[in-house]
């Protein structure tokens, strides 16, 4: 096999892997933004931006490995590299904030300032490399890229530490089996990508840039795990929390034992919750009689409203308490 045949084969393999990664990215983005029952757009955009940034980075790396080379046009090569790297850094920051929001929907000022400072330094370095590339100063470009890659690695390590800490806190909560599996898949997906990419980036910087092609194996595998996490439950209880208006805890006789109204100025009277619980009990009883077997529905849809049902033997620790602050009321 000639050198040309080998390069062609490698280009074909990279094209297939890049296409697989892009398809997984698009699939995940489509799942995120087409699930109308998820109303929390802040979390939706954070996760969507992360997935989109990965797709842009994969495309930029593919172009640098297959079509555009520094000896042909240094400025274009650096421009594509800078756009891909800056975009993926924005995605890492979005990912860290996404995970932080799952644990506690509050802004961590220290984390925000630390990551913002590192991002500013890296962005400035890439702008400098573009100016150096425009002047055809290859040595300065290489030195600035080395500095940028060091800061990239620092950001990745910082994100790994933050996400590990936050998801460990989340897994320590009283989760249902399905929710725990979902969060575990999210954790594995993120750690597979970040920890797997660190040695690949080091090899590409200090050994051979073409070794960055190994990322085309790590990234699709990580995205596959994240797709599995997202598809565990069509309601996606943790990845995209639902906007909650009313919470009811109903015992096996159909009577409400706990109620909490989250809608502002809803106008609902306390007696209305008794009627709602009675209606739910009646619907489930009719369905059980129709199918001649006990029915435990998971959700009921009416126009644009959605009623989510969770069945548990222990009413003092419902599986949704991590997203809805009812635990303090039950103590």
**CATH code, domain with 194:** 1.20.1070.10
Range of the domain at 278: 246-330
* Average pLDDT value for the chain: 76
Q: What is the DSSP letter of 242?
A: P
Q: Which two tokens stand for residue 288?
A: 């059980």
Give the 3-state secondary structure of residue 260. strand
Within this chain, do residues 37 and 157 fall inside the same structural domain, yes or no? yes
Name the nearest CA neighbour of 149 among 204, 194, 195.
Answer: 204
d(CA 40, CA 244): 10
Q: What is the DSSP letter of 268?
A: -
Distances (CA, A) of 277 to 272, 274, 300: 9, 5, 13
Instruction: Please name the helix (run of DSSP H) or strand (run of DSSP E) that holds residue 184, with its range, or none.
Output: helix 177-206
Does 240 map to a domain?
no
Beta strands in the chain (DSSP E): 246-250, 256-261, 299-302, 305-308
Q: Report how far Cα 165 is from the mean position of its chain's Cα atoms.
A: 16
d(CA 305, CA 299): 10
Q: By the 8 A CB rule, do 242 and 40 touch?
A: yes
d(CA 194, CA 178): 25
- Residue 37 pLDDT: 45
User: If you average pLDDT over residues 255-284, what whole number do you get?
Assistant: 68
User: If you average pLDDT over residues 130-139, what whole number do you get?
Assistant: 90
More confident of the two residues 90 and 242: 90
Q: What is the DSSP letter of 241?
A: P
DSSP assignment of 287-311 equals: HHHHHTS----SEEEETTEEEE---
Q: pLDDT tens-digit profile of 228-263?
A: 776 665 454 444 445 566 777 777 777 777 777 665
Within this chain, do residues 257 and 218 fall inside the same structural domain, yes or no? no
Give the 3-state secondary structure of residue 247. strand
Q: Is the pLDDT of residue 54 over 80?
A: yes
d(CA 116, CA 287): 54
Report the DSSP pairing between strands 305-308 and 246-250.
Answer: unpaired
Contacts of 303 (CB under 8 A, 6+ apart): none
Does 265 map to a domain?
yes
Within this chain, do residues 162 and 302 fall inside the same structural domain, yes or no? no
Does 241 map to a domain?
no
Domain end position, chosen among 172, 199, 231:
231
Q: pLDDT tens-digit profile of 171-207?
A: 876 666 777 788 888 889 889 989 999 999 899 888 8
Within this chain, do residues 262 and 199 fall inside the same structural domain, yes or no? no
- Residue 324 pLDDT: 43
Q: Which two tokens stand for residue 209?
A: 């840039």
Residue 82 pLDDT class (50, 70, 90 cuts): very high
Residue 83 pLDDT class (50, 70, 90 cuts): very high
Name the nearest CA neighbour of 124 among 141, 140, 154, 144.
Answer: 144
How many domains, the chain? 2
Please list the residues that pair with 308 across neighbouring strands. Answer: 299
User: If you average pLDDT over residues 159-170, what whole number do you get?
Assistant: 87
Does 237 map to a domain?
no
Residue 20 pLDDT class (50, 70, 90 cuts): confident
Q: By the 8 A CB rule, do 121 and 148 touch?
A: no
């Amino acid at each position: 096999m000639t050198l040309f045949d080998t390069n062609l084969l490698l280009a074909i393999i990279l094209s297939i892997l890049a296409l697989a990664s892009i398809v997984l990215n698009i699939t995940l983005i489509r799942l995120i933004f087409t699930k109308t029952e998820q109303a929390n757009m802040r979390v939706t955009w954070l996760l969507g931006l992360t997935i989109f940034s990965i797709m842009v980075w994969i495309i930029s790396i593919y172009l640098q490995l297959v079509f555009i080379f520094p000896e042909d046009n240094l400025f274009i090569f650096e421009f594509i590299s800078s756009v891909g790297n800056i975009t993926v850094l924005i995605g890492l920051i979005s990912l860290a904030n996404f995970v932080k929001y799952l644990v506690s929907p509050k802004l961590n000022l220290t984390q925000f300032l630390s990551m913002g400072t590192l991002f500013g330094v890296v962005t400035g370095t890439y702008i400098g490399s573009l100016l150096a590339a425009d002047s055809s100063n290859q040595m300065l470009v290489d030195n600035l890229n080395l500095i940028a890659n060091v800061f990239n690695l620092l950001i990745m390590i910082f994100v790994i530490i933050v996400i590990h800490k936050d998801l460990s806190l989340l897994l320590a909560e009283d989760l249902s089996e399905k929710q725990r599996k979902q969060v575990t898949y999210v954790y594995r997906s993120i750690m597979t990508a970040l920890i797997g990419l660190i040695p690949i980036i080091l090899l590409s910087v200090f050994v051979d840039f073409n070794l960055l092609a190994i990322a085309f194996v790590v990234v699709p595998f990580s995205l596959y795990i994240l797709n599995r996490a997202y598809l565990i439950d069509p309601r996606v209880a943790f990845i995209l929390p639902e906007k909650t208006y009313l919470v009811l805890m109903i015992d096996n006789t159909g009577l409400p034992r706990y109620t909490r109204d989250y809608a502002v100025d809803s106008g609902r009277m306390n007696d209305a919750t008794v009627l709602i619980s009675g209606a739910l009990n009646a619907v489930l009883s009719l369905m059980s009689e129709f199918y001649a077997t006990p029915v435990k529905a998971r959700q009921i849809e009416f126009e644009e409203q959605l009623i989510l049902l969770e069945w548990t033997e222990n009413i003092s620790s419902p599986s949704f308490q991590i997203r809805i602050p009812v635990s303090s009321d039950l103590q």
